[in-house]
Structure 1
Amino acid sequence: MAAQHRRPLTRLLATATAVVGIAALAGCSGGGSEVNSDYGFASAEQTADSTITVWVDAAREPVAKAFEEANPDVPISIETYDGNAGGSGSFQTKVALFDQSGEGWPDVVFSTQTNDASWAAKETNGVQAFAAPLNKGYLSDDFLSGFTDGANDPMTVDGTVYGLRNDLAPVVLWYNQKLLDEFGYAIPTTWEEYQALGDKLAAEHPGYILGSIGDSFVGTYVYYWGAQAPIFQLDGDTFSSDFDDDHSVAMTDMLDSMVANGTLVQDSVFSAPFVENYSDKIVAMPGPAWYAGALFQNPDSLNSTAGEIGAADPLYWEGEDKVTGNVGGGVWYASSHSKNLAAAKTFLEFVTSSDEAAALASGLPAYDSAASTWLDTQAESNFFTGDFKSAVQTAAGSVWGGWGFPSFSPETAYAAVVVPALADGKTIADVVPEWHDQILNEAQVQGYTVK
């Protein structure tokens, strides 16, 4: 990933007086200090018994508590926050305030977004970058080589790794074998077959669905990324978005058609209405691998019956590359300002590669050994029908590489423009110009050259 501009908000937070104060703090924050040969970056003075503060979202709290239980000698304080969900920017905003005061940084942070390295790897107003370089001596090459190939690419800047992928989130096609058998339908393999199934389902079994586009991550990552739609691309510091590309137009047309016939709904898959109205009416639904635990096996969500749900290979355009989208796959960051980097390292290794982490994972772990354990556990449980392991592995190796990772999320523009438009009865095509402008405006605000 090429170097990228940091957000203007960060630049605006420091007044001239604050800059002077921050410069004075540079020694304790690592900025301007000598590189620590053990870690490969300028570190704060280390204190072995210093408590590490770990930020997690609610879904990652169990693995953090599992670490605490397994490592009673490691002092740790676990704090929950929104996980930067939906591109909220909370992670960056909080760090910017700590940069201004010169203290208070957490030691480890989990983020649901894969694009935070674009700012977390950058020095800000003379304050050392928040994210610690991980492959300059801090973490061993043997440990880092255990991640699935490409898993940490979004967090790699000019050859330096700044974050560790928690899980891979490739999109597969989830299906209900019981309903397919009952209706006499085959599992679709292409987007064209998926749309045709929507037409057939709407005519023959109204009320049954093939998914939802009510979540911003679904509309952007599942459908447009999976369709090879070049609406969110980055080349160095140049951002581009093309809604006139054939892939973009075809996906917009398909979604509008399926919303119109009722086979795509607008409720969030995490909402109570979706669970209440559609738990037993989902014939098929493209979605990330982590739907396995987050939706289908979750007693507080769809709580599907064992043996009915399966995962099939991702959908693709007929005659084109068999690629798919990706929905998140959270990231762990260690702070370069930490006063107990040894404890932070122990934590990072545990939450990404341990058997305990694999057992608590709702989706496919990014660490190979943990992924193998998770896939085997899923297969042995007999909860999913079909060749679940093969489908997930196929998807993991098929993510389209044309999607960009700038310092802002595509979810915010979709949520601001598309979601309310659909609620008002408009089509996606109706608001594509506004959606496009919103994306480009966000890119310009972030300092990118817009093509």
Structure 2
Amino acid sequence: MSVYKPSAARKTGTSGRRAALLAGCAATVLLTVTACGGGGGTGGTTNKDGFAQAAQNDGALTVWVDATRMDAAKQYQASHPNAKLNIVSYDGDANGSNYLQTKVQLFNRTGKGWPDVVFSSQNNEASWAVDAGFAAPLNKGLIPDATLSGFAKGANDVCTVDGTLYCLRNDLSQAVLWYNAPLLKKFGYAVPTTWEEFQALGEKVAKEHPGYLVGDAGDSFTPEIYLWASKCGANHITGPKAVSVNTTSESCTKMAKLLDTLIKNKSMSISGVFSTDFAKNEADKVLLMPGPAWYGGAVFKDGLKTPAKQIAVAPIPQWQGDTSPATGNVGGGTWLLSKHSSHLKAATDFLKWVTTDNAYQGEKAPGFPAYAPAAENWLKAQAASEYYASDLTALKDASSQVWSDWGSGQFSQEAIWAATVKPGITQGKTIESMLPAWQDSIVKYAQADGYKVSK
């Protein structure tokens, strides 16, 4: 069983900050933040909340988080001093590492070791975690409907299998157009509203201000920003274990041609926004940058150290004549609760807090919260920081415009792009010329995971 037509309203990287995601991938570090306390198991198993529950006890709650969500877990511990937590840092399945799935397979064989609650930077975990018997159903009694109804429309579609909810979205990572407001004004340019204007501006920048950039195509999540926003049908999950793949339609080729044109004239970088090269040589050259909601903090403020009152945000461009606004999504991440947990009350309390509470999501979270009331507070907090040169209304608008026909299958599009297309870009090949190879690779990955593929 896998996710049926997951909504693209998910999203953003992902979730949080990709730079931090990449930082702590190598080893699993156990941080014990536990108070003393004994057993107290209830004995046996109980059929409740839609699944057979393990015997419960008051032992320490084991929570797996990536580097970025470590602060959330520590904040929960600080505000709940009587809670007993084992906080484990892992890579968060960054860039489709499949670390979590591999470990769950091991735990299933040995019959022990499962974390109680886990964060993943990926939005496709339900596509395997349900079949693996790991993810607990959340809408059968564990999480109240009143709480679930507060999430943004479609946010938890990626977590839903046949009407049952198996995870909660952490944040939405909808793509928008970031730009340097004073630099754009200095050069006398207007913010492009169409992709045609975007390309024309890139060509103009290459001639009039060589070295300055209107975007970056060097990251493994490049297709999730550009091809997804272009409504390229590369990743349409059509049913349980079924996917439609077509990377050579006009929606795909015209965006590929746009990227190729701007890569060739060097107004679009291929370094990758988290590369040392980009930070060293191009940090102050960014004029425009399509990217997810978390770029504001993770890329510009923290990564590139762009000064305050420079970065502004606008809607991502649309193709001229397209009356249905669409954008892509990079990451966002999900929280899962284990069916094997013997601390369900504590696990559910943590899960609700970390996804909905203003103390973290509304005030401290690096990305746009999936929980709508927290998102409103998050926007106010961003405005109060006085970092941005404009309001962030475009983020709120884009949260409901993520194109729904790019799904969340078990296979990782980021891993496929990194293996198939990114090396070719580095070698000087055009993206357009590699679209057929990209399709072949997607088909092979999907079939390896048991998907029926149509083209």
Considering the TM-score relative to the shorter chain, is it more than 0.5?
A: yes
Q: 1:2 to 1:319 in 2, by over 3 A?
A: farther
User: How many angstroms does 1:436 deviate by?
Assistant: 1.4
Matching residue of 2:32:
none
Identity %: 47
- Name the amino acid aligned to 1:428: I
Matching residue of 2:82:
73
Matching residue of 1:42:
52
1:292–1:362 Cα contact (<8 Å) kept:
no
1:327 to 327, 330, 334: 330
- Name the amino acid aligned to 1:429: E
User: How many angstroms does 1:210 deviate by?
Assistant: 1.1
Matching residue of 2:124:
115
Distance in 1 (alpha carbons) for counterparts of 2:426 and 2:152: 40
Residues 327-384 of structure 1: CA distance to partner in whole angstroms, max 9, x if unpaired?
1111000001000011111111111111221222111011112111110111122211
Are 1:246 and 2:228 matched, yes or no?
Answer: no
Secondary structure in 2 aligned to 1:54? strand
Residues 146-195 of structure 1: CA distance to partner in whole angstroms, max 9, x if unpaired?
11111101100111110010001100100001110111000011111111
Question: Where do residues 406-421 of structure 1 align in structure 2 (5 Å cutoff)?
Answer: 406-421=409-424
Distance in 2 (alpha carbons) for counterparts of 1:97 and 1:438: 28
Matching residue of 1:106:
115
Distance in 1 (alpha carbons) for counterparts of 2:247 and 2:150: 38
Secondary structure in 2 aligned to 1:172? strand
Matching residue of 1:92:
101
User: How many angstroms does 1:77 deviate by?
Assistant: 0.6
Matching residue of 2:388:
384
Residues 6-54 of structure 1: CA distance to partner in whole angstroms, max 9, x if unpaired?
xxxxxxxxxxxxxxxxxxxxxxxxxx96522xx321110010x211111
Question: Where do residues 213-224 of structure 1 align in structure 2 (5 Å cutoff)?
Answer: 213-217=217-221, 219-224=222-227
Distance in 1 (alpha carbons) for counterparts of 2:184 and 2:71: 36
Q: Structure 2-normalised TM-score?
A: 0.88
1:55–1:79 Cα contact (<8 Å) kept:
yes
2:3–2:159 Cα contact (<8 Å) kept:
no
Secondary structure in 1 aligned to 2:69? helix
Question: Where do residues 302-313 of structure 1 align in structure 2 (5 Å cutoff)?
Answer: 302-313=304-315
Distance in 2 (alpha carbons) for counterparts of 1:370 and 1:186: 33
1:141 to 145, 151, 162: 145
- C-alpha RMSD over aligned residues: 1.4
2:195 to 191, 198, 201: 191
Distance in 2 (alpha carbons) for counterparts of 1:33 and 1:64: 29
Matching residue of 2:359:
356
2:117–2:337 Cα contact (<8 Å) kept:
yes
Are 1:427 and 2:430 matched, yes or no?
Answer: yes
Distance in 2 (alpha carbons) for counterparts of 1:3 and 1:289: 24
User: How many angstroms does 1:275 deviate by?
Assistant: 1.1
1:40–1:138 Cα contact (<8 Å) kept:
no
Distance in 2 (alpha carbons) for counterparts of 1:249 and 1:419: 17
* Contiguous gaps of at least 5 residues in structure 1: 5-31
Are 1:82 and 2:86 matched, yes or no?
Answer: no
Secondary structure in 2 aligned to 1:360? coil
- Name the amino acid aligned to 1:35: N
Question: Where do residues 275-314 of structure 1 align in structure 2 (5 Å cutoff)?
Answer: 275-298=279-302, 301-314=303-316
1:291–1:362 Cα contact (<8 Å) kept:
no
Matching residue of 1:174:
178
1:173–1:286 Cα contact (<8 Å) kept:
yes
Distance in 2 (alpha carbons) for counterparts of 1:115 and 1:316: 27
Residues 400-421 of structure 1: CA distance to partner in whole angstroms, max 9, x if unpaired?
1111221111111110011111
2:59–2:84 Cα contact (<8 Å) kept:
yes
Distance in 1 (alpha carbons) for counterparts of 2:254 and 2:137: 41
- Name the amino acid aligned to 1:304: T
Matching residue of 2:378:
374
Distance in 2 (alpha carbons) for counterparts of 1:433 and 1:148: 36
Distance in 1 (alpha carbons) for counterparts of 2:411 and 2:374: 30
User: How many angstroms does 1:2 deviate by?
Assistant: 5.8
- Name the amino acid aligned to 2:242: T
Matching residue of 1:11:
none
1:131–1:335 Cα contact (<8 Å) kept:
yes
Q: Number of aligned residue pairs: give it.
A: 412
Secondary structure in 1 aligned to 2:178? strand
2:406 to 403, 406, 421: 403
Distance in 1 (alpha carbons) for counterparts of 2:2 and 2:344: 27
Matching residue of 2:37:
none
| Greater percentage in helix | 1
Distance in 2 (alpha carbons) for counterparts of 1:159 and 1:214: 37
1:271 to 269, 272, 275: 275
* Contiguous gaps of at least 5 residues in structure 2: 5-43
